[in-house]
Amino acid sequence: MGVQMVMESAVTAVVHKRLPLFTNWQLARLLVAEMKQAHEQGRVESMAWVIMPDHFHWLFQLHHSHLSQVIGSIKSRSTLTINRATQGCGRFWQSGYHDRAIRDGEDLRNTARYIVANPLRAGLVEQIGDYPLWDAIWL
């Protein structure tokens, strides 16, 4: 019997040319739907995320998938749905993504708090509850 290795990752991906397209919350919800689908398919266990105007941060446990496949799928599928919604075409995301593996013993809750507090640090809201585009399993 093999041992299943579970890996937690914090990922950031940025919109092409850093355009603040997620100020349109309907477009942001299309991205959220793709993230939720990855969770529902069992590819990841989503722990925390925030959608900023021109990028997203996502903390999750990876299950039965490779990180590059999950993020590639999220970016590809969200590009299709967002382009369809905006009647656009072409590139939506910058190439690549930034990821940071979470070390054993590192406090996941602190990482999640840091992720969901991004709108506060960016001055978008004064209280995180006022920002609609985030979630965390520790509520």
CATH number of 7-136: 3.30.70.1290
User: If we measure between CA atoms, which residue out of 73, 72, 22, 65 comes closest to residue 45?
Assistant: 65
For tokens 């997203």, name the residue: 56
Beta bridge partners of 9: 60, 101
The predicted model scores a pTM of 0.91
Domain boundaries, the chain: 7-136
pLDDT in tens, 64-76: 889 999 999 999 9
In whole angstroms, what is the distance from residue 24 CA to residue 54 CA?
11
Angle (CA) 27 68 2, round 5°: 130
pLDDT in tens, 90-108: 889 999 999 998 887 678 9
The one-letter code for the residue type at 96 is: G
